[in-house]
Structure 1
């Protein structure tokens, strides 16, 4: 019997689902201080990129590059911070954080520097529309959660 994929509970708690690519779910971190998105490959029991098949490694890099380019253009980033840390949440997930030279902690990493400020419902709705329009054609609904 094949084990099915399940999103880590911490990611479920901290993030807003936006949709999915061929390999990865796309989440938005519920922190209005930064445009912050997370790709999660839908593969069970994977904690490291090298554990993916060669084909999935390539697909992850393609999806990550596509996302980073589009986020950078959409939000006029000074820099895209991309990383798969996994110290707190072992499930493989790749952060894509839009950074500005004017943000509160530039040039330091954002982790642990400020308290998160959750989005309002209106901000969530607006950001979903903005990002989905930017990624249309590649981003698909995430039907497992009723996301459309």
Structure 2
């Protein structure tokens, strides 16, 4: 863990940690309705992107773009929804949600549409393997 960084309790409760890029922790939202990943810059007390240094903003953009491109390819996305909202969880975090024209919430946002449907341990292992394969050498363990 980066010095003085602590993951917000809500993110820790709702997500599965997959690893760390250079700046961000990579999480999987534990809701199998959608492939839903979250990047959290491992810097203390951040709520907004503009609070990052210029170099960190560039790094965040690179990590987000790499994740989005990889997820779009891996999951054959019709659309990638990427958002940093933070109304309920103030800690800076960026959602990357794979969307399909036939998903349960399409075309509306996914927030609050359905009760969460947690992944099985087997499916988590499959996703972890896919992510590890795609990000070899770029994603480290926590």
Give the TM-score category using the shorter length: over 0.9
How far does the alpha carbon of each residue in 1:30-74 deviate from its partner, in whole angstroms, 9 at most, with x for none? 001100000000000000000001110010000000000000000
Q: For structure 1, list consecutive stretches of 5 or more residues without a partner in the other structure.
A: 143-148
* TM-score, length-scaled by structure 2: 0.97
Q: Counterparts of 2:113 and 2:131 in 1: how far apart (Å)?
A: 26
Greater mean alpha carbon deviation, residues 20-29 or residues 131-140: 131-140
How far does the alpha carbon of each residue in 1:57-106 deviate from its partner, in whole angstroms, 9 at most, with x for none? 01000000000000000000000000000000000000000000010110
CA RMSD after TM alignment? 0.8
Q: Counterparts of 2:94 and 2:136 in 1: how far apart (Å)?
A: 20
Q: Counterparts of 1:88 and 1:80 in 2: how far apart (Å)?
A: 22
Moved over 4 A (4+): none
| Mapping 1:1-148, distance limit 5 Å | 4-142=4-142
Q: For structure 2, list consecutive stretches of 5 or more residues without a partner in the other structure.
A: none
